[in-house]
């Protein structure tokens, strides 16, 4: 994506009460030299939706002027004390508007902002004194910032809020991914604590401004947790969906697959507990999840084929690779992946997708009704999920036609059983179901590959090319499918025994 420079930012923030002394970094073995830089005057305007949706997900988006890193900054959670920061340059043209957020940055957070406008919510002015810490090799280790802050909440019809003022310190590693960085950050932080500072109550200046102004929304992880394990699992997977959404937009490796898996998990879990969500099998939200998985599947299937063929062709002797097989199979699948990715991104920028996300968050926000006094809560139907696997297995054993499709139905049933078992504290059942899902997933990939090989061999034959290698690859895929079928009975038997012991 053309979303500017990305890097991992690892930092800690500290409140500075009255009486705190300036910290000393003398005596630290890692620090060879300390340099005080000229003071900086920074001005930043922060953007969010009217409901502060970015802030609720610990995301900040700002337009900063002044200092060495003037520009647009988007900061995304990346673990404890870490965020991924995406930069985009300022548009200094005469017709540029200060409130026009770059489209590339908007797209990264589109699953959260959706079709809600991004507008200024705070202005923060900072006078910053910087101390750079260097190692023995002369490389920068960390940056200590002594900040005097003035801030105003924006977005109210009554104009800017009252000025807020405070003093804070920031300690940031120059390289957020350096080996031993966490230990260094801890040792440097101890010097700040020794000087009288205290860990900051909030992770960003913006959060402090909004909290003081009374407009900081409750973070999703701080909402009341449901007592229903499936309800909790759905809430976790909806959060995961938003994370993988950003990864797909950045075209991160395997992200399409993971987003598709997450979509399917949500659908399976929603179908598993009528008591939690009250959805019928033909509910709109289930159809939309199925459709989204289908769209993502176009890119995912092409990605699987490209990796599959590339790995197999590398293992074959050169004399067995005849004609432009690599171009047709690997490069062709990679082109199909890019086309599928574009189609996925188009769907992920549509009002239809936004409404699905709205609906999922609505379901998560709806708490399961408490059981009446003396009434036992209705259990999640793990038995029902298992019976569907057994029924699909029986039908597959009796099938005389379309056996591949019958086996695929076992896989879908095992997948749902796996997710429900994991959510309800049945790890052994979940593991057995996963084994079946994996076996039949390999079988399904082989089925798709064989169909693709037949189609490509026909195209190659029509072009007058040698099709020997296509036949060889087809046979390898057929052998794999046979091995999967041979192992299926044992996997089903293991699931039956495990399920019987736990029930």
Tens-place pLDDT, residues 423-441 = 888 999 999 999 999 999 9
Fold matches, 6-213 and 229-502: no
Scan for tokens 């987003």, then name that residue: 259
CB-CB contact of 313 with 329 (8 Å): yes
Q: Which CATH number fits domain 229-502: 1.20.1300.10, 1.10.8.60, 1.40.20.10, 1.10.1200.10?
A: 1.40.20.10
CB-CB contact of 328 with 305 (8 Å): no
pLDDT at 367 (0 to 100): 60
Does the CA dihedral 193-197-198-201 come out positive or negative? negative
Q: Half-sphere exposure of residue 318, counting CA atoms within 13 Å on the CB side?
A: 0
pLDDT at 187 (0 to 100): 93
> Which is higher by pLDDT, 268 or 179?
268
Query: Which range is least confidently modeled, 343-347, 488-492, 497-501?
Result: 497-501
Mean pLDDT across the chain: 89
Residue 387 and residue 383: Cα distance in Å, rounded? 6
pLDDT at 221 (0 to 100): 46
How many percent of the chain have pLDDT more than 70? 92
Average pLDDT of the residues in 361-390? 70
Phi/psi zone of residue 426: left (φ > 0), alpha (ψ -120 to 50 degrees), beta?
Answer: beta
Residue 168 and residue 197: Cα distance in Å, rounded? 9
Secondary structure of residue 114 in the 3-state scheme: coil
Residues 180-224 pLDDT 10s: 888 999 999 999 999 999 999 887 899 999 988 877 776 544 444
Scan for tokens 């092409």, then name that residue: 302
Residue 227 and residue 371: Cα distance in Å, rounded? 11
pTM (2 d.p.): 0.85
Q: Where are the domains of the chain?
A: 6-213, 229-502
pLDDT band of 177, cuts 50, 70, 90: confident
pLDDT at 225 (0 to 100): 54
Inform me whether the pLDDT recorded for 272 exceeds 90.
no
Inform me whether the pLDDT recorded for 381 exceeds 90.
no
**Spatial CB neighbours of 79, under 8 Å, sequence gap ≥ 6:** none
DSSP state of 503: -
CATH superfamily of 6-213: Hypothetical Protein Pfu-838710-001 (2.40.320.10)
pLDDT at 204 (0 to 100): 87
Residues in a beta bridge with 122:
46, 153
Residue 420 and residue 440: Cα distance in Å, rounded? 19
pLDDT at 401 (0 to 100): 81
> Which is higher by pLDDT, 220 or 297?
297
In sequence order, what DSSP letters do the residues of 10-38 get, joined into one string? EEEEEE--TTPPPP--TT-TT--EEEEPP
And the tokens for 181? 């960085």
CB-CB contact of 436 with 493 (8 Å): no
> Which is higher by pLDDT, 264 or 160?
264
């Amino acid at each position: 994506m053309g979303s500017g420079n990305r890097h991992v930012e690892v930092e800690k923030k500290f409140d500075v009460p009255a009486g705190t002394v300036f910290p000393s970094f003398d005596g630290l073995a890692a620090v060879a030299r300390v340099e005080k830089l000229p003071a900086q005057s920074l001005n930043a305007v922060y953007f969010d939706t009217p409901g502060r949706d970015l802030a609720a997900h610990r995301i900040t988006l700002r337009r900063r002027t002044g200092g060495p890193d003037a520009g647009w900054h988007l900061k995304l959670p990346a673990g404890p004390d870490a965020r991924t920061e995406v930069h985009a340059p300022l548009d200094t043209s005469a017709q540029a508007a200060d409130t026009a957020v770059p489209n590339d940055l908007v797209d990264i957070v589109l699953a959260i902002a959706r079709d809600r406008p991004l507008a200024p919510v705070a202005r923060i002015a900072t006078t910053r004194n910087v101390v750079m810490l260097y190692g023995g090799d002369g490389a920068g280790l960390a940056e200590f910032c002594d900040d005097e802050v003035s801030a105003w909440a924006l977005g109210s019809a009554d104009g800017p809020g009252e000025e807020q003022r405070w003093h804070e310190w920031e300690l940031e590693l120059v390289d957020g991914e350096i080996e031993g960085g966490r230990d260094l950050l801890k040792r440097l932080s101890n010097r700040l604590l020794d000087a009288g500072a205290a860990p900051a109550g909030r992770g960003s200046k913006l959060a402090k401004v909004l909290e003081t102004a009374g407009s900081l929304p409750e973070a999703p992880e701080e909402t009341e947790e449901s007592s229903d394990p499936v309800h909790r699992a759905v809430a976790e997977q909806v959060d995961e969906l938003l994370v993988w959404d950003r990864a797909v937009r950045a075209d991160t490796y395997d992200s399409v697959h993971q987003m598709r898996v997450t979509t399917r998990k949500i659908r399976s879990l929603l179908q598993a507990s009528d008591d939690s969500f009250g959805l019928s099998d033909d509910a709109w939200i289930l159809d939309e999840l199925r459709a989204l998985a289908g769209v993502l599947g176009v890119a995912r299937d092409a990605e699987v084929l490209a990796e599959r063929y590339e790995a197999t062709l590398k293992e074959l002797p050169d004399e067995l690779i005849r004609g432009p097989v690599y171009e047709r199979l690997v490069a062709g699948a990679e082109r199909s992946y890019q086309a599928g990715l574009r189609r996925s991104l188009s769907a992920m920028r549509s009002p239809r997708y936004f409404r699905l996300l709205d609906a999922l968050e609505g379901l998560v926000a709806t708490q399961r009704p408490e059981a009446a006094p003396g009434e036992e809560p209705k259990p999640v139907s793990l038995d029902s999920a298992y019976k569907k696997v057994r029924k699909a297995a029986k039908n597959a054993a009796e099938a005389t036609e379309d056996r591949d499709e019958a086996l695929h139905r076992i896989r879908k049933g095992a997948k749902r059983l796996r997710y429900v078992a994991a959510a309800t504290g049945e790890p052994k059942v979940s593991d057995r179901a996963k084994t079946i899902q994996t076996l039949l997933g390999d079988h399904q990939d082989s089925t798709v590959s064989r169909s693709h090989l037949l189609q490509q061999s026909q195209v190659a034959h029509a072009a007058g090319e040698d099709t020997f290698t296509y036949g060889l690859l087809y046979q390898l895929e057929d052998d794999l499918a046979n091995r999967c079928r041979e192992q299926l009975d044992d996997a089903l038997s293991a699931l039956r025994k495990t399920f019987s012991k736990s029930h």
